[in-house]
Chain A
């Protein structure tokens, strides 16, 4: 159990367009989901925390108008990169915290975004 999926696994888009990435908890309810960004051979950088039914909390330096996060249900959170530019190219990973379990996060397989 405790499987998290992400869709798409990779996406290529043109500069100036928007792209949406979905994160789903398949077999559990997730009260909190987290979005990370990872550059090659580097660590995970937390972008934002999303709680079901409320606005996301963004980390310092992350543009909330550029990275729109929606957590509409206990099993789905979406990250929309608006007006994408080549510098937004990265690996985006989501994780989900199971309802009632405080300490464990389950990670999705990640989405590779390339902006041309």
Chain B
């Protein structure tokens, strides 16, 4: 069974600084996706970034980037130039693939609450 672990329950960062959220996962699968989702106080889940396991290049979306280490099963999220609106709970998630019959199930980590301070 797959597991996703986020070992940092809470983090804080000053506005405009950079912060890195950690995530590790365990799987015997070779084909899968990894995601970071953001859940602000509104509780609406928002996709931040997606990484395909077969791609060596780390995904980037504006101020958000990941450090994907497949062998180490590590998938950290770096937020640059932190903004007050980045304050939220962040979830790392894993989705395995079964070729064309992908179940689409997401396995979430425990979450990291990030507070951006002015």
Contacts and interface: CB of A to CB of B under 8 A. Distances in A.
Contact of A34 (B42, B102, B104, B113): B104
Interface residues of B, number: 24
Per DSSP, chain B at the interface is loop
A49 B103 contact: yes
Contacts, number: 53
A44 B110 CA distance: 8
Interface string A98-112: 000011110101100
Contacts of A49: 103-105
A76 B95 CA distance: 23
A97 interface: yes
B43 A43 contact: no
Contact of B43 (A102, A105, A109): A109
Interface of B: 33, 42-47, 50, 52, 89, 91, 95, 97, 102-111, 113
